[in-house]
Structure 1
C-alpha cells in the first residue's frame, strides 16, 4: 500500500492544526456559522439529522492495521450521542413504525447504534455521532496515522477511487494506484478547482473488467494499451446519478499517460468556466456535457491544445515522476510458511475441520478471489449480516480486523465499493485459519455478490437529506433471505438502496434498486429494475427503469420477495447445471412479469380485493 512521505505527514498535520484554529474561533464567536460552513465541509464535517457526520478519506480504500486501530479509537471514544439527543432520535424513529419481514410474524424497527464507522461506496469511512466540539481532537488523532477528511465534501475534487483489486488483479493491464495518487496530490487544495460549480468525483480502472463503476463518475479513466503497446487512458466525462442519471461520454479513446494532468485540467477548467452555478440540481458536469455535447468536447480539446502548445504543458508527467510515485506503493515482503511441529499439527486440525464444513467451500467460492501471485488470495470480509446495518463496523470489529490484517494480510486491508473489507495479501495456506477467525467474528458469511450483500446508505435514520429510511427495510430483506441455500440458489444479484435522490446507495446501478421518496411527509419507495455498474456480470453501465408507482414501506420487503420469486420461475438453465443470472433473465424476458408481481404486493389492492 501507499507509504506516506514526510511531506504527506506535515501536510495532514498542518491541515488538522488549521481546522482546530478555525473551530476554536467559531466557538469563541469570532467566526460565524456561515463562515465556518465551507471550512468544515472542506474537512469532511457535515451537520446531519441528529449530530455531525464525519467523512474520513481512504484513498483507493487502502487501510493499514495502525489506521484501523485509530478508527477503532475514534468509534469507541468519540462516536457517542448524549442521552437527550439519543432519546430524541429514538422517539422519532419509533414514531415512523416498523417494517414487516415477509413470511414471518416479525417486524423490524430501526436500531440506532453508536460506536461504529460506516464503509461507503466511495471507500471512505463515516462516523455519525461525533460532537462538533470534538472534531479537532478527532482530526489530530487521525493525522497521527496520515488520515484526514480533506475534500471529502465541498465543491472540489473528492476522494479518488479505483478497483479494490488494484495492483493484485489477474486481469490487470496496469496498476492504477500511482496515477490515482498523482491525481490526489495534484487535486488536493488545488487553488483553481477549490470552488467548482458542484462536487467532482474521479475513478480509475486498470483491469480488463470494470470493477470501478466507471460509467457513473464525473471523470472516468480506463487504463489500456494501444496497437503499439503504449500505455494510456480512455477518458470518459459526465457520468453521475442523482435525479438525472447519466452514463459518462467517451471524450478521448486514447490519451497518452504523460498528458493525464494536462487533459484533466482542460476538462475541469471548461466545466469550471461554463458549469451552472444558479441551480444546484443542474450544476454537475453531466448536465453540461449532456446539454453541450460535441461543443463541450471541442472546448476541452482547444483548452488542451492551449495548455500543451502555448502554455508549455507544465504538468506533463515524466517516467521519472511516475516511477517516483510508484515506488511509494511498496509490495509487502512475503514471509516463508514456516511452522514448528506444534503449530503444524494445529494448522492441520484447522484445515481438516474447515474442509469438512460445506460453508468453507462456499466461502472459498464467494469470498476468496484469485491473485496475480498464485501463492496468494484476496479475501473479502462480509459486513452484511443480520442485526447490523450494511457496511457498519464497530470499534471492536475495527480492532479485530486490524488483528486479521496483521496476521494474514501483511498489515493491509481495503474498503470495497460494496461496503465490505478486503484482505489483499492472504497466503493460500492460511485460508482455513482466516476462515475460522473471521467466522468467530461474524465476518465470514459466504454472501459476496448475493442478495444480502446489498449496498445501502444510512438513509433517513441519520441523513438530513434523506426522504426515507433504508436501514429497517434492508434489515427486513436480509432476514427474509437468511436461508443460505436459497440465497445461493438465487445467485448473483445487485440490490442497491438509497434513502434519497442523491443516490449515495447507487440504486440506479442495482439490478434491483430501491429509492426512498417523500409523499406528503410519509415514506414511500420507488423500485427500479435492470441497472448496472458496468462489471462483466452486469453488462454495460446504465440506470434501471422504474416499474410503477412507489410502494409503502410495509410493502417493500414483499415486493423484493415477489421479484426474486418471479426470476426463479422464469430463469433458464445454462451450462454446468446452473441457471442464468437475474440480470440475464430480466434482459431476456423484459420487465412486465416482474412489474406485475411487484404490483400484486400492494396492500391497498389486497385490502380492496
Structure 2
C-alpha cells in the first residue's frame, strides 16, 4: 500500500496544526458555528445525537497492523472502546470530545492516517473492491489508480466547496462489482478497448439518498493517461451547472438527469477538449511509480488444495461451512482470500472493539503479510492467507467472534448506526438488524436460502444502502413513532437496480415476521437454480405484497 514521503507528512502535519487552531478558536467563541461547520466537516467531524462523530479515512479500504493498533488505542483513550466500520470503507468514532479531536488527528498522522475530506461538499474517500490486487478475474490492480485519484482530489482548490458531497469508486473485476460503482457520483470500470489498451468506462450520476439513481455511462472508454483530465472536466461541469440553491437537488445525479446523460456528456467533452493536454494529464512514469507501492508480497510457491486443508474440511462440518462461505479464490496458487465477518448475532453490524482491533492486527501479521482490507459490507478481509493455514486461522478467530460463516446470507446485514447515534436518523437501525438476525439464526436454513442482501438505513440519507439491498429497510418517522419501509429487488453489482417500495411501513416489532413472509414467498416460488433476486425479477413484487399485507 502507499507509503508517505516527506511531502505527505509535511502536508498532513500542517493540516493537523491548522485544525487545532480552528478548534481552539471555535471553543473560545472566536469562530462562529456557521464558520466552523465547513472546516470541521472537511476534517471528518460531525455533531451527532449524543456526541461528536469523527470519520477516519481508510483509502481504498487498506490498513496496516500498526494502524489497527493505533486505532485501538485511540478508541480506548478517547472514546468508549469501540469503533464502527462504514459502508464506504472508513471507520467512525462515535464518542470523541471536540477538544480531543486535534490530538486524535495528530496521533493518526503518526501512522499515516487522517480524516481529510471524509465529509463536507468535496471529493470523499475513493473506494474499490476489497479483493483488489488478489482476485483472479481482475483486469489490473485498481489501487494505484485509486491512490492517484486520492492525491489529485485531496485539497484540490477548485473542488473544495462543490455544490454537494462527491464520491468516486473504481472496479477492475470483469464479473463482479463489489465497489458498487453504478451508485456513485462517478463510477469507473476498468476495461480494455478493441485495440487492447487499458482504460475506463465512465458512469456519472449514480447515488442513493433521497433520489436514488443508477449512474448512466457517459463514456465507454477513456484511456488511462487521460483519467485525471477527464475527471476534472466532469467536476468542472458539475461545479459550474450544479444546483446550489437547494441541497436536495444539488447532487450531480440531479444535474445529469436534468441535462440528460447525452447532454451532460456533451458538456464534459467540450470542457475536456480545453484541458486534455494540460499538465494534469497522467504520464506513464507517474503510473508506473505509483504501481511500485502495490507490489506483490513475498508469496511462496505452493499448491492449491493441500492435503491438510482437504482433511480438515472432511473432518469438520463447521470449518467446511466457513471455508465455503468466507473463503474466496486467490490468484496465487496455495493462497486464499478470507473474510472475517463482523456480524455475530448480538453485535451491531460493523462495530469492533479496541481489543478486537488489536486481535485483527495480530491476525494480519501472523497470516496476511501485516495488512487487512475493510469491506463495503462492514467486514474485514485478510487477503493473502496460505491455504495450509486456514484451519489454524479458523481456530484462532472463533473465540474472537469473527468466524460466523454467514457471509452474503440474510444475517450478514449492512446497517448504519441509525437513531442510536445519528442526529439525522428517523429510526433506529441496530435493533432491527439484531431481531432479524435472531429470527434467522440457523446456518443450515441460511445456506438453503442462498445469497440475500439485507440492507438497513435509519433515514433517507441511505448510509446503509437500503435502496440496493435485495431486501431494503428504511427507517421513517410517523408522528414521532419509528416505522420501517420495505423495498425489494435492489442490486449493486453489474446489474445494479434500485429497489421498489413494497407498500406502507411497519412497526419495529413486526419486522422479523414481515421479513419471514417475504422469505417464504421466495421459498414457495423459486426454482432449483434461483436465488432471491432471480425469483423476484421473474415473479415481480405483487406476490410479496399480497402475502405481506394479507
Cα distance in 2, alignment partners of residues 495 and 51 from structure 1: 28
Residue number among 512, 525, 531 corresponding to 2:484 in the alignment: 525
Moved over 4 A (4+): 347-355
TM-score by length of 2: 0.97
In 2, the alpha carbon distance for the partners of 1:67 and 1:148 equals 11
2:519 alignment partner, one of 559, 564, 577:
564
In the alignment, which of 96, 118, 122 is matched to residue 156 of structure 1?
Answer: 122
The structure with the larger Rg is 1
Hey, what does 2:5 align to over in structure 1? Answer: 5
Structure 1 runs not aligned, ≥5 long: 81-114, 338-346, 575-579, 601-609
Return the TM-score normalized by structure 1. 0.87
Q: Are 2:336 and 1:368 equivalent residues in the alignment?
A: no
What is the match of residue 385 of structure 1? 344
Correspondence 1:27-106 to 2 at 5 A: 27-80=27-80
Q: Which residue of the partner structure matches residue 273 of structure 2? A: 305
Which residue among 289, 293, 305 is the counterpart of 1:328?
293
Secondary structure in 2 aligned to 1:121?
Answer: coil
Shift of the alpha carbon at 1:485?
1.0
Q: CA offsets per residue over residues 206-245 of structure 1, 9 Å max, x none?
A: 1102221111000011111011110011011000111111
What is the rounded CA distance, in whole Å, between the counterparts of 1:133 and 1:6 in structure 2? Answer: 28
Tell me, in whole angstroms, the C-alpha distance in 2 between the residues paired with 1:15 and 1:155. Answer: 18
| 1:171-570 → structure 2 map (5 Å cutoff) | 171-208=137-174, 209-293=176-260, 294-308=262-276, 312-334=277-299, 355-535=314-494, 540-570=495-525
Q: Which secondary structure does the structure 1 equivalent of 2:509 belong to?
A: coil
Aligned to 1:604: none
Match of 1:125 among 86, 91, 94: 91
Cα shift at 1:367: 0.4
TM-superposed deviation, 1:18: 1.6
Task: State the Cα RMSD in Å.
Answer: 1.6
Q: Is contact 1:351–1:433 with CA below 8 Å preserved after alignment? A: no
What CA distance in whole angstroms lies between the structure 2 residues aligned with 1:406 and 1:9? 25
Aligned partners of 1:599, 1:181: CA distance in 2, in Å? Answer: 49
Provide the residue aligned with 1:586 in structure 2: 536
Task: Give me the whole-angstrom Cα distance separating, in 1, the residues matched to 2:388 and 2:7.
Answer: 39
Deviation at 1:354, TM superposition (A): 6.2
Secondary structure of 1:328's counterpart equals: helix
Partner Cα distance (2:53, 2:545) in 1: 37
Q: Secondary structure at the match of 2:342?
A: coil
Q: Distance in 1 between matches of 2:205 and 2:231?
A: 13
What displacement does 1:16 show? 1.5
How many residues get paired?
545
Verify the 8 A CA contact 2:301 2:333 in the aligned structure 1: no
In the other structure, the counterpart of 1:169 is 135
* Inter-partner Cα distance in structure 1 for 2:179 and 2:155: 24
- Distance apart, 1:374 and its partner CA: 1.4
Q: Per-residue deviation at 1:398?
A: 0.2
Which region of structure 1 is more displaced relative to structure 2, 251-260 or 23-32? 23-32
Q: Deviations over 1:31-82 (max 9, x none)?
A: 22222111110100000000001100000100000010011111111113xx
**Could you tell me how far apart the structure 2 residues matched to 1:9 and 1:487 are?**
47
**2:545 corresponds to which residue?**
595
Contact 2:309 2:388 in 1 (8 A): no
Distance between the aligned counterparts of 2:309 and 2:99, measured in 1?
48
Say whether the 8 Å CA contact 2:83–2:351 is kept in structure 1.
yes
Alpha-carbon distance in structure 2 between the residues aligned to 1:127 and 1:455:
18
**CA-to-aligned-CA distance 1:80-116 (integer Å, 9 cap, x gap):** 3xxxxxxxxxxxxxxxxxxxxxxxxxxxxxxxxxx21
Determine if contact 2:309/2:390 at 8 Å carries over to the other structure.
no
